Structure formats: structure tokens, C-alpha cells
Amino acid sequence: MFIFLCFNNMNELLIQWLFSTPNRWTVVINKVICDVLFDRLMLWFNNNGDKEIHITVPYEDFKVHFYLFLFNLVNDNYGNYKKEENEIFTLKYHDDIVNLFITFKDICKSYTVDYFDKKGTTADKLLNFMNEFIVIDENIPQDEVDHILIVDDDQYI
């Protein structure tokens, strides 16, 4: 019963946050900003996923998880994503995720919100969130995997 009440309370807080304005300088509600960011994230998946990245949950569920991710960032309560890091995804797309993070910061700045501009908020948080909900197609050619691993090793030599 306690877990249900906590979860129910979290739902209420999330909904209140989504339909409130982030600050006094904007009339746009948080949900609109979240939707703009989510659309950019999905555009990244469509353009950069090379059909090898698959989201492990239905679209609407992924969107809700993204809302929760942003809600937790805003409230300095970063979610605890425990799934092991997908090394191939991290190595192959890390630079892209950093660029996506910077794009998110710019979008947020244009709405005068600081979702991604808080102390301690880095692209790694976005990367960890994405790692939680994606799977990489196992049919990646071995020479491409070797190239990714060799390039990463060369950076540290």
C-alpha cells in the first residue's frame, strides 16, 4: 500500500510539474518544453540510430520515462539507472550524445529554463538515461566493433 501511495504521489507531482510554467519569465508550460526536447531526441534516434538501436519500451512509455528523467533533473533528484552500460552504444555515440546534450541546453536556454544547465548535470546523465531504454542490434559487423574499440583505446595512449 505504501509503495502505491508513493507512486501515486509521484504521478501527481509529475502532472503538476508538467502543466505548470517553469518560471515567471515564460508562459510556456513544462510539458511543451519536454515535448520539444523529446521530439529532438526521437529525431536523433531516427537520424543516427542506423537501424541498429532499438528502444526497449513502447513509444508512449518511453515518453513518460523521458518526462520523469527531466522532472528529476529539474528537482535535483537524478534517477537511479542501474542497467549496465552498453559499451558499444557509449563508444560509438558518445560524441553524438554530447552534441544532443548541448542542443538540449540551447533549447532550454531559449525557453529560459535550466533543465540541463545545473551544476553536476552532464551529458553522461542523458547517456545513462538512453542506455536504460535501448538495445543495440547484435548483428554489428565485427570489423566495425573492432574499429570502435581500437579508436577508443588510441585515445588513452
State yes or no: pLDDT of 97 exceeds 60.
Answer: yes
Average pLDDT over residues 118-127: 88
| Domain-wise residue ranges, the chain | 2-155
Q: List, in order, residues 6 or more apart from 128 with CB less than 8 Å away.
A: 81, 85
CB burial class (10 A; 0-12, 13-18, 19+) of residue 33? buried
State yes or no: pLDDT of 155 exceeds 70.
Answer: no
Question: C-alpha distances in angstroms, 41 versus 33, 79, 101, 108?
Answer: 12, 18, 10, 14
pLDDT in tens, 27-39: 899 999 999 999 9
State yes or no: pLDDT of 2 exceeds 50.
Answer: no
CB burial class (10 A; 0-12, 13-18, 19+) of residue 100? buried
CA gap 100, 106 in Å, rounded: 10
Average pLDDT over residues 45-55: 80
Confidence at residue 8, expressed as pLDDT on a 0 to 100 scale: 55
